[in-house]
Amino acid sequence: MRATIIHGPRDIRLEQAPDPGLSGTGRDAIVRVVAACVCGSDLWPYRGVTETTEPRRIGHEFVGIVEQVGGHVSAVTPGDFVIAPFYDCDMTCANCVNGVSPSCLTSNWWGRDDRDGHFADGAQGEFVRVPTADGSLVVVPGPIDDAMVPHLLALSDVMGTGHHAAVSAGVGRGSTVAVVGDGAVGLCAVIAAKRLGATRIVMMSRHADRQALATRFGATDIVEQRGDEGVAAVKALFDGIGPDAVLECVGTAESMDQAIRSARPGGMVGYVGVPNGGAKLPIRTLFGSNVGVNGGVAPVRNYVEELLADVLDGSIEPGLVFDLELPLAEVADAYAAMDERRAIKVLLRP
Amino acid sequence: MRATIIHGPRDIRLEQAPDPGLSGTGRDAIVRVVAACVCGSDLWPYRGVTETTEPRRIGHEFVGIVEQVGGHVSAVTPGDFVIAPFYDCDMTCANCVNGVSPSCLTSNWWGRDDRDGHFADGAQGEFVRVPTADGSLVVVPGPIDDAMVPHLLALSDVMGTGHHAAVSAGVGRGSTVAVVGDGAVGLCAVIAAKRLGATRIVMMSRHADRQALATRFGATDIVEQRGDEGVAAVKALFDGIGPDAVLECVGTAESMDQAIRSARPGGMVGYVGVPNGGAKLPIRTLFGSNVGVNGGVAPVRNYVEELLADVLDGSIEPGLVFDLELPLAEVADAYAAMDERRAIKVLLRP
């Protein structure tokens, strides 16, 4: 099959890779990828912010059709259309049951030797071996309209991740919210905040196309300023006090600082941006203002069913964050388009 | 009147100070102190961990009898027995209404020129001028049995602060909890966790007297180890995963590290220890494990009524943390006793 390999900074290649096969554990499945995508976090090795020490498979978001299943798999069968979260998990261990499936005690990440001892494949390829099929995969009842695919694919990461920011910040009916980060996750965080009942949602963005999409998703206000001016502008929208919740969807030191200083006393920062570039938490500021910080690697698998219902009835449309679709053969262009901010998020079709 | 002045490290003196009088704002009250106490945080200037640049009044916890009130005061009248929180607040501004009265927009701390422009007195003295009497003071219906005084005094800080740790960590029915810190606040955090419905409460302590009191308050397990061994011992009590909530009641880098690493994935650290000595929050650890950090300066005024009901009906006895009572004249001995860990917490009677 063909699969995407990252060799180093700005060196993304679609290459031949072995077709995956069932491992013999009996718990895995082979899925033919219908759609995958490029994540903001994929840009960090692409940009050389994190090092690529050797060529490796990349990609962790996909939807597809089940091709084969191991002998102990009962939840999915060949022909099912499935959503995979951006990690493999069993959904039966203590951490999965506690709602924290990225901390699954038995499973691991795509593109690595999983704990079952066999390679798990990256998602930007034609096929993926899913080590723990019963836990990881969620069947979407068919037939699947092609126009629904982007919305379903968003459930593999960005929609669930934006939702996690909102849940972690305690967003509920009547909450006031600011979102730091106008990428796909930040935009999905707007969807999530509105869905959970927030009455006012400020998007911090200086890009007209993203502002427009945020407004379509439910943002009530846009703030273009950053830093001290951004904090002041956000607080000014809430009587100088600030919003109840700030959703940090970037992961830099600057964005975390922006989030913490924008929240009202007693407010909460929900953060899902992978911490990068020395993000620090200023504990004395947090202590003095009673601003909490909660979040982390989003347990999107725990959220799929709840969000899927809203996708299927059309009440949320997270797939709108995909503003460019390319064939898998053009995966290098997909990375470049996101790197250069020509696209919010790129959908890939094998 | 006599009032306590800190002059520098280990230099605590009871000296003559001007009798406070009403300021003319009409919003203040003069309270005769019935009981005050020494806080763990008072030990930091006492030990020289924080600098004392000039002699200043000290103490922030007291209960007493109202002597005089300004013309606009309506909630308290002379003769009332009142509990004061460890700060002054109006309970009408946006932050007070949001439950974060230490961030009151109009008020300030004891022992300082308050925002009303007049000195507010420290609490380790015979009288205190309370700048915002209607907001700060809570009347306890009389007559007051003398044996009730320690429990009422605990509501001015330590009981509300322990409660805040538990509330900030989301402790509720069925929660599993570990408490880091066996001082008065940590012991009150045990009371709070049990009161909120925690089913298992681990106290980290290596002092037999404090272990015994923690057990009396509801601790189900004691862990004496610290550091890596402490983390392992706590996690071992919860199937290797860790408890839902860890209550950090110290404020050092070591105690915060202990708390964060002891929590289960997806758990929450509620922290109320005043951050000291370079406490840091390791964001990558937090992100990877989805452990949140929430807390800060405890809004004890917002909690007084709720906790007072339980004190008055005898269902909680936070005053048991006072294991030494001294006359105010021996305030220097009170500090020494706590510094040398001869006492958990010292109650002072003017």
pLDDT digits (tens, 9 = 90+) for B103-123: 999 988 999 887 888 999 999
Extract the tokens encoding B67: 């002597």
Interatomic CA distance for residues A278 and B156, integer angstroms: 39
Q: How far apart are CA B258 and CA B277, in angstroms?
A: 15
What pLDDT does residue B115 have? 80
pLDDT at A325: 98
B19–chain A nearest CA distance, Å:
31
Contact B264 A294 (CB under 8 A): no
Question: Do B115 and B109 contact (CB within 8 A), yes or no?
Answer: no
Contacts of A289 in chain B (CB under 8 A): 103, 296
**B30: pLDDT strictly greater than 80:** yes
Q: Which chain A residues are Cβ-neighbours of B95 within 8 angstroms?
A: 241, 264-266
The pLDDT value recorded for residue A104 is: 96
Judge: A280–B279 Cβ closer than 8 Å, yes or no: no
Q: B299, A168: Cβ pair inside 8 Å?
A: no
pLDDT above 90 (res B323): yes
What pLDDT does residue A275 have? 81
Q: Per residue in B160-175, pLDDT tens?
A: 999 999 999 999 999 9
Tell me the nearest-neighbour CA distance from A91 into chain B, angstroms.
14
| pLDDT on residue A86 | 97
Q: Is A75 on the interface with B (CB under 8 A)?
A: no
- What residues in B contact A295, CB-CB < 8 Å? 287, 290, 292
Q: Average pLDDT, stretch B50-58? A: 94
Q: Identify from A283, A291, A302 which residue to disrupt to test chain B contact, counting B C-beta atoms within 10 A and taking the largest count.
A: A283
Q: Closest approach of chain A CAs to the CA of B63, in angstroms? A: 25
pLDDT-based confidence at residue B199 (cuts at 50, 70, 90): very high
CB contact under 8 A, A100 and B294: no
Measured CA angle at A99 (ends B259, B241), to 5 deg? 40
Chain A contact present for B289, CB below 8 A: yes
Q: CB contact, 8 Å: A170 with chain B?
A: no
Residues 98-117 of A with CB under 8 A from B: 98-100, 102-103
Predicted local confidence at residue B322, as pLDDT? 98
**B244-255 per-position pLDDT tens digit:** 999 999 988 889
* Tens digits of residue pLDDT in A161-187: 999 999 999 999 999 999 999 999 999
pLDDT at A252: 87
CATH number of A159-295: 3.40.50.720
Tell me the pLDDT tens digit for each residue of A229-261. Answer: 999 999 999 999 999 999 999 988 889 999 999
* Residue B169 sits at the chain A interface (C-beta within 8 Å): no
Q: Do A265 and B100 touch (CB under 8 A)?
A: yes
pLDDT tens per residue, range A300-334? 999 999 999 999 999 999 999 999 999 999 999 99
* A103, A266, A297 ranked by CB distance to B100: nearest: A266
pLDDT score at B253: 87
Partner A contacted by B281 (CB < 8 A): yes
Nearest Cβ partner for A241 among B94, B266, B275: B94
Give the model's pLDDT for residue A282: 85
Res A54 pLDDT > 70? yes
Among partner residues A264, A283, A291, which is closest to B281 by beta-carbon distance? A283
**SS (HEC) of chain B:** CEEEEEEECCEEEEEECCCCCCCCCCCCEEEEEEEEECCHHHHHHHHCCCCCCCCEECCCCEEEEEEEECCCCCCCCCCCEEEECCECCCCCCHHHHCCCHHHCCCCCECCCECCCCCECCCCCECEEEECCHHHHCEEECCCCCHHHHHHHHHCCCHHHHHHHHHHHCCCCCCCEEEEECCCHHHHHHHHHHHHCCCCEEEEECCCHHHHHHHHHHCCCEEECCCHHHHHHHHHHCCCCCCCCEEEECCCCHHHHHHHHHHCCCCCEEEECCCCCCCCCECHHHHHHHCCEEEECCCCHHHHHHHHHHHHHCCCCCHHHHEEEEEEHHHHHHHHHHHHCCCCCEEEEEC
Cβ–Cβ of B103/A280 closer than 8 Å? no
DSSP run (H or E) holding A217? helix A208-217
C-alpha distances in angstroms, B62 versus B68, B104, B121, B149?
A: 17, 19, 12, 10
Least confident residue range of A30-39, A63-72, A210-219, B278-287: B278-287
Q: What pLDDT, on a 0 to 100 scale, did the predictor assign at position B155?
A: 98
Angstroms from A297 CA to nearest CA on chain B: 6
* pLDDT over 80 at B32, yes or no: yes
Contacts of A295 (CB under 8 A, 6+ apart): A164, A165, A168, A169, A248, A269, A270, A271, A272, B287, B290, B292
Task: State the average pLDDT over residues B75-87.
Answer: 98
Q: What pLDDT shows up at residue A278?
A: 60
Which pLDDT does position B326 carry in this prediction? Answer: 98
CA–CA min distance A349, chain B (Å)? 30
Asked if B94 and A239 come within 8 Å (Cβ–Cβ), the reply is: yes
What is the nearest CA distance from A276 to chain B, expressed in angstroms? 9
Kindly list the domain boundaries of chain B, sorted by start residue.
2-157+299-349, 158-295
Judged on CB neighbours under 10 Å (0-12, 13-18, 19+), A208 is exposed
Record: contact B294-A268, CB cut-off 8 A: yes
Q: Which of A100, A291, A296 sits opposite B287 (nearest CB)?
A: A296
pLDDT band for position B278 (cuts 50, 70, 90): low
Sheet holding A2-8, edge to edge: A11-16, A2-8, A56-57
- Stated as kind and residue range, the H or E segment containing A68 is strand A62-69
Give residue B273's pLDDT band: very low, low, confident or very high (50, 70, 90).
Answer: confident
Per-residue pLDDT reduced to its tens digit, A202-218: 999 999 999 999 999 99
pLDDT band for position B276 (cuts 50, 70, 90) = confident
The Cα–Cα gap between A239 and A248 comes to: 21
Residue A117 confidence (pLDDT): 86
Mutation pick from B294, B301, B302 vs chain A, by most beta carbons of A within 10 Å, is B294
**pLDDT on residue B280:** 65
How far, in Å, CA of B54 to CA of A331, rounded?
A: 66
What is the mean pLDDT of the segment spanning B9-17? 97
For chain A, give percent helix, strand, coil, nearest 5.
35, 25, 45
Is a pLDDT exceeding 70 seen at residue B286?
Answer: yes
- pLDDT value of position A108: 86
Mean pLDDT of A88-117: 93
Closest chain B C-alpha to A103 CA, distance in angstroms:
7
Contact assignment for B266 to A99 by CB distance below 8 Å:
yes
**B236-259 per-residue burial string, b: 16 or more CB within 10 A, e: under 16:** ebbeebbbbbbbbbbbbbebbbbb
**Mean pLDDT over all residues of chain A?**
96
Output the pLDDT for position A114: 76
Of A286, A294, A297, the CB nearest to B288: A297
- Separation in Å, CA B196 to CA A38, A169, B164: 45, 21, 11
Is pLDDT at A279 greater than 70 in this prediction? no
Q: Cβ B281–A293 below 8 Å, yes or no?
A: yes
Question: Are residues B295 and A292, on separate chains, in Cβ contact within 8 Å?
Answer: yes
Q: What is the mean pLDDT of residues B181-203?
A: 98
Residue A7 has what DSSP assignment?
Answer: E
DSSP secondary structure letter of residue A42 = G
Query: Which of A98, A275, A293 lies closest to B292 in CB terms?
Result: A293
Other residues' Cβ atoms within 10 Å of the Cβ of residue A50: 14
Average pLDDT of the segment spanning A65-86: 98
Whether the per-residue pLDDT at A122 is higher than 80: the answer is yes
A2-157+299-349: what fold?
Answer: Quinone Oxidoreductase; Chain A, domain 1 (3.90.180)
Query: What ipTM describes this predicted complex?
Result: 0.95
Residue type, A169: A
CATH class, B158-295 region: alpha beta
Torsion of CA B222, B225, B231, B234, to 10 degrees: -20
Do B266 and A95 lie within an 8 Å CB cutoff? yes
Contacts of B297 in chain A (CB under 8 A): 287-288, 290
Question: Which residues of chain B have a CB within 8 Å of the CB of A288?
Answer: 296-297
Contact assignment for A292 to B294 by CB distance below 8 Å: yes
